[in-house]
Amino acid sequence: MAEATASLLTLERGTATHPGERAWLDVHQTAYRKLLTEDPVTALLVRGGFGRGWMADFLTPTPLGEGEPAFAEELLELRRTPSDDARADLAVSLRGPLPGELDRPDLPDRAADLLEWVWNETVLPYWPRRRRIIEADIVVRAQQLTQGGWAAALDDLRPGMRWLGDGRLQINAYRHPPQQISGAKVLFVPVTSRHCWVSWDKPRRYAVTYPCSGPLVEADRAPVPRALRALLGAARADLLVLLDTPKSTTHLVALTGQALGSVGRHLKVLLDARLVWRRRAGRSVLYYRTDAGECLVEAQKDC
């Protein structure tokens, strides 16, 4: 649900942060605009609900945090939102009374229908790769937490967030009163776009949705030249292309979907061929391309 919501925000705002996202927008934005042109009520709902300073709470539901619910289950939770709550949330994001077109009981269903379209048409075809990016980010954050504590893991999670120590987390730069949430479940939810938000189901669950680190997203979208795959084999070529920035074996496992043993064997071959080097960073061993590896990838890009 978070990934679908983030994708909806990207479609609505029409701006991309890297070439891969621009290509995705070029494929899907025309159909999205056509859909909303034919449904002006839902178009008004999206514009009003995703304000620049505040998002309507019912449009960003807090994940259940128990296992991995199917997308249909998450949609059902959205559809169950009381219509009065949805209208009240919209009034907050609009910072004023609702226009007459939005004073209606079917707003949760309309939002769910739109998110279902976004998921099926614009996210699901890319979901295996996006999921690997998300899993890779979780691996990196877990390593940061282990090696440097909460400050290392959370300080660059999203703009305005930082760990203050003594059990205190600043989630943004707004001057809202602090909240005591001891005993509640706090979830950190990565998405592959730049969008971020916070949500809550007081007093039980709170969630911080944040963008995956840029290098992960960029790496997943880098094309692997056909000639390079023919030369090295698909698995080794994939690893070599991904190693434009240093990455650990667990990181590479999450990005490629290859087994840990396979990644290790392919890295050894690339090391022996002096196409990659490795270095230790804290408790991690990071791999990256050598000059020879760079030349090989660059030489094959147009093949």
Per the CB < 8 A criterion, the answer to whether 212 and 156 are in contact is no
Its pTM stands at 0.78
Residue 84 scores a pLDDT above 60: yes
pLDDT in tens, 146-205: 778 888 888 878 888 889 988 899 988 888 888 899 889 999 999 999 888 999 988 889
Burial, 179: exposed, middle or buried (Cβ in 10 Å; 0-12, 13-18, 19+)?
exposed
Residue 83 scores a pLDDT above 80: yes
| Per-residue pLDDT at 148 | 83
CB atoms under 10 Å from CB of 229, counted, come to: 17
Name the band, by pLDDT with cuts 50, 70 and 90, for residue 219.
very low
Cβ neighbors of 55 (< 8 A, separation 6 or more) are: 49, 93, 197
| Per-residue pLDDT at 250 | 79
- Window from 179-188, 222-231, 240-249 with minimum mean pLDDT: 222-231
Cβ neighbors of 235 (< 8 A, separation 6 or more) are: 256, 258, 262, 266
Q: Which two tokens stand for residue 269?
A: 């071959």
pLDDT in tens, 40-81: 999 999 999 998 778 999 999 888 766 667 889 999 999 999
User: How many angstroms separate the CA atoms of 223 and 244, rounded?
Assistant: 12
pLDDT in tens, 4-45: 999 999 999 999 888 788 889 999 999 999 999 999 999 999
Nearest one of 255, 248, 243 to 133, comparing CA atoms:
255
